[in-house]
């Protein structure tokens, strides 16, 4: 189904390009700052949006904490999609995010991912002597890092593995460290492991607080209509299906 959908996206994009020609400097770009776990899903959603709306989407993927600081510093961002709810709600309370645009779009899942150890089947396996380097996103500014720390504490291995940790800037870098074999294993988003080679173990949801993810439109946007169209696509049936394809849980009220 995903292959068919992508084919339709490119056909739509080709048809649009053939019907309308606009100088590059007259085409507005929608800027979306999104948590790193959203890269594959949002790139697919962005292609659909551009094919239909004729508006290119520029994505800025990173840790939620870093993206929030950029918005607070006045970066020209139209939509912020975080890997938590608290930061989006806080910005909405401050009037930086439009309160009526705040929506919970997904719940993320955490996995143990490795290209070096196919026999990792439990969180407790991280404490084995042969596991020397464990990548997690920095819990100081990345929600997936917070979940990883909670998971290891729940398993009773936090004190054992602390000196083996490799802190990544964001969840995407965490996955990359494991994919390239630079670490033995990573606690990374399920969404980034879909379709990738390697060993994946889904961390039981009860081992950490739910990774509930929210988005909102930045109040200072000069592309309010396009921003709402993008949010509507993410929150609509197509967006929810794509997010589901990448392992996200979709809240019933979304």
Which CATH architecture fits 110-202?
Answer: 3-Layer(aba) Sandwich (3.40)
> Do the domains 2-107+210-245 and 110-202 sit in the same CATH topology, yes or no?
yes
Contacts of 155 (CB under 8 A, 6+ apart): 122, 123, 124, 126, 207
Residue 202 has what pLDDT? 97
Which CATH architecture fits 2-107+210-245?
Answer: 3-Layer(aba) Sandwich (3.40)
Answer yes or no: is pLDDT of 15 > 80.
no
* Selected residue with higher pLDDT from 252 and 215: 215
Tokens 């020609």 -> residue: 21
- Nearest CA to 108 out of 37, 199, 206, 200 is that of 37
Residue 252 has what pLDDT? 79
- For 147-192, the pLDDT digits (tens) are 999 999 999 999 999 999 999 999 999 999 999 999 999 999 999 9
Give the span between the Cα atoms of 184 and 127, in whole angstroms. Answer: 12
Give the start-to-end residue ranges of the domains of the chain: 2-107+210-245, 110-202
Q: Summarize the chain as % helix, strand, coil (round to 5).
A: 45, 20, 30
Roughly what angle, to the nearest 10 degrees, separates helices 39-53 and 224-235?
120
User: In the predicted model, what is the mean pLDDT of residues 43-54?
Assistant: 97
């Amino acid at each position: 189904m995903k292959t068919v959908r992508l084919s339709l996206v490119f056909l739509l994009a080709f048809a649009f390009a053939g019907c309308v020609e606009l100088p590059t400097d007259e085409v507005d770009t929608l800027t979306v700052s999104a948590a790193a776990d959203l890269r594959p899903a949002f790139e697919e959603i962005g292609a659909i949006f551009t094919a239909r709306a004729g508006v290119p989407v520029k994505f800025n993927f990173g840790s939620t904490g870093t993206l929030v600081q950029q918005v607070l510093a006045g970066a020209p961002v139209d939509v912020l999609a975080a890997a938590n709810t608290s930061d989006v709600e806080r910005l909405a309370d401050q009037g930086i995010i439009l309160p009526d645009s705040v929506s919970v779009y997904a719940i993320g899942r955490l996995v143990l991912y490795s290209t070096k150890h196919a026999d990792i089947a439990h969180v407790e396996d991280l404490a084995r002597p042969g596991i020397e380097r464990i990548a997690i996103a920095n819990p100081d500014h990345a929600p997936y890092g917070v979940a990883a720390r909670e998971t290891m504490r729940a398993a009773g291995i936090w004190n054992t593995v602390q000196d083996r940790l490799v802190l990544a800037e964001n969840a995407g870098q965490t996955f990359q460290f494991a994919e390239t074999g630079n670490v033995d294993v990573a606690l990374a988003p399920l969404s980034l492991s879909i379709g990738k080679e390697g060993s994946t173990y889904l961390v039981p949801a009860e081992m950490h607080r739910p990774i509930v993810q929210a988005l909102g439109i930045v109040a200072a946007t000069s592309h309010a209509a396009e921003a709402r169209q993008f949010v509507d696509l993410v929150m609509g049936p197509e967006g929810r299906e794509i997010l589901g394809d990448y392992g996200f849980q979709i809240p019933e009220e979304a």
